[in-house]
Chain A
Amino acid sequence: MSNREVNIIEASYKKSSNIYWTCWVIALRAEAISIIRLFNMKKVETHSSFQIYASKEAGHALIISGIGAIKSAAATAYLKAQLDIESYAAWINLGIAGYYKEPIGKFFQAVKVYSQERNRTFFPGFRFSKKVAGASLLTLNKTEKIYEQPLLYDMEASGFCEIASKFSCNELVFVFKIVSDTPESSTKKITGKTVEELVEVNLLILKGLLSEIEKLSKIEMNRLTLPEEVFEMENSINFSKTNSHKFRQLYKRWKFIHPEKSLKELNLSAKKAKEIINFLKKDISLNMNSRNFL
């Protein structure tokens, strides 16, 4: 990205500092507690049995879904609706998982998630292969005890993926798992305390990933959002849907030619939608050669 592009993103970011950039969907409180503490999230009062924690300052929100793919899907949808999450937010399902081999505590990004029950496959997230190992994951509706295939085994990810990818693009939906049980170390040994510790020891890896994820969210935000002055203009003048579309397209071009100008300077408020569109068209055409379009 050019410096100019970075500046534009940064400017928009500052304006929207009170938004949730990252949404966590986590099955158990023991898996969530380190994340809640890390971002100093506070409990949000809701009218449901789902527990939500959030920090607007940090830009993180978290929901404890309970165990199972259906609960994970429901919690994802509930968090989206409850906090009005933007479509450029990243969604993360973090949790423990079984794996076919040691070591306990190894951190994975699930790059393929399969639900046998629903016969659905998902390929979530931008792959951070340089930072973390990738693996395939099988979501089951009961705890795996045999670990027959070389996979991760969990009980939530497929439900999460199915719903989260409807809210943000697939590349912003992440499944991160920490190995908690293997054929050599059964689920019987897992306690709340060990789960907390497994997450805690992987926080450094997670922080590294979060800084990359935030960059991707910002790129997506820049693509999806328009400056406030566009909405102000549309609210003050009666734009039909077609005219609004034309206006937005022309605005982007006009802004490319005049990055320092604002719509307010043009004194367009007394004009009709069509007049504004024609004005922008003419201005773009007159200034076509005023800057390098590459």
Chain B
Amino acid sequence: MIDTVYFEEDASNYSATNQIRLALPDANWIPIDRFQEIFNIRTQNFRIQKKNPALIIAKKHDNFVLPAPSGFGMGSDQNFYFSHMYNCLYDCGYCFLQGMYSSANYVLFVNYEDFFEAISETIHLHKNETQTYYSGYDCDSLAFDKISHFSGYMLNFFQNFPEVEVELRTKSIVISSLLMRNPIKNCVIAFSLSPDSIAKKLDNKAPSIRRRIKAIKELSEKGWPIGLRLDPLIYTHDWKLKYSDLISDLMKQVDLCNIHSVSYGLLRFPKRMYKKISNLHSETGLFAFPMEENKDLISYSEEIENDMYSFIQKKLRAYLPEIKIFHCSN
């Protein structure tokens, strides 16, 4: 449970802030001027801070919508992402956020309306192209939803723009708010998945794979379009068996017609992030495994890459048409 909330005084009158006050009445609420005075300070220690993160409530002033990195999209002409939150409740060993920020505190931007206004403008600007918007790039889209209630606002907004797609990427099983409403056909609920034994080791604090698959099944039965994200692919000596089991299990349990897309991508880090994260986790096996540098990315060797990609592709093609399978490279 969050015991301390730092809040920008400028952000104190938003309805989201008021809702959070009701949700966290016993927390110590401390006023601040700007979130940058406490978040991502160079001398902060992500690993220690992660043991008891605080919530920082802030107002975002710019960069509400950003172009998604190349290689991130699922076939649209234009791909964008937006981050109403920085950092995540979970503590996944491979997460790039720990290399991006030196702070593990959660930052929640409560001026939701400003995000939607910026997204509206972007939609209008690219009205002649297909567009996908990604939520959950700098956080988990649903994990904090019981406190932030962001997904409800977001879905209400995108419901009015059926011509564009939005993806909520998550590992969370907090899906009751989704189950209570009718599915929105342009909203993809995308789950990040790894084989159970890998998730048990690396997806700290996240729901088990069994529970994630159960949530996927429930959403799919209700008619929500489902995204399956096998990203990052993690190498182990028996990875073929592990990924084979995971894919079979998923395809058996989820109605294939409701699978919007499946994407996969190797464990990879920008060079600078890798250095920072491996320094934080020098004792863990994930970063002890030999990785190679290729075009400013650190990842497994080309041999492992080719081997894993061809295997995963082959497995997925046995169940799904090519058009639903995507390879993420950045």
Contacts and interface: CB of A to CB of B under 8 A. Distances in A.
Contacts of A285: 290
**Interface size bracket, A side:** 35 or more
Given A169-B44, A216-B48, A253 B288 contact: yes
A127 interface: yes
Nearest to A169: B45
Contacts of B217: none
B147 interface: no
Interface string B211-235: 0000000000000000000000011
A256 B288 contact: yes
Interface of A: 5, 8, 111-112, 121, 123, 126-127, 129-130, 133-136, 165-166, 169-172, 216, 219-220, 222-223, 249, 252-253, 256-257, 281, 284-285, 288-289, 291-294
Given A249-B278, A292-B237, 16 more contacts: A5-B283, A112-B30, A121-B37, A123-B6, A123-B41, A127-B3, A127-B54, A134-B3, A170-B41, A256-B288, A257-B288, A281-B290, A291-B285, A293-B285, A294-B201, A294-B236
Nearest to A121: B37
A291 B51 CA distance: 29
A242 B202 CA distance: 31
Nearest to B202: A294
B47 A219 contact: yes
A149 to B, nearest CB: 10
Contacts of B4: 111, 127, 129, 134
Interface centre among A171, A219, A249, A285 (most CB of B within 10 A): A171
Contacts of A216: 48
B248 interface: no
**Interface size bracket, B side:** 35 or more
Interface of B: 3-4, 6, 28, 30, 32-33, 37-38, 41, 43-45, 47-49, 51-52, 54, 197-198, 201-202, 234-237, 278-280, 282-283, 285-286, 288-290
29 contacts: A8-B283, A126-B49, A126-B51, A126-B52, A127-B3, A127-B54, A129-B4, A130-B3, A134-B3, A134-B28, A169-B48, A170-B43, A170-B44, A171-B45, A172-B48, A219-B48, A220-B45, A220-B48, A223-B282, A253-B289, A256-B283, A285-B290, A288-B289, A292-B236, A292-B237, A292-B285, A293-B286, A294-B197, A294-B285
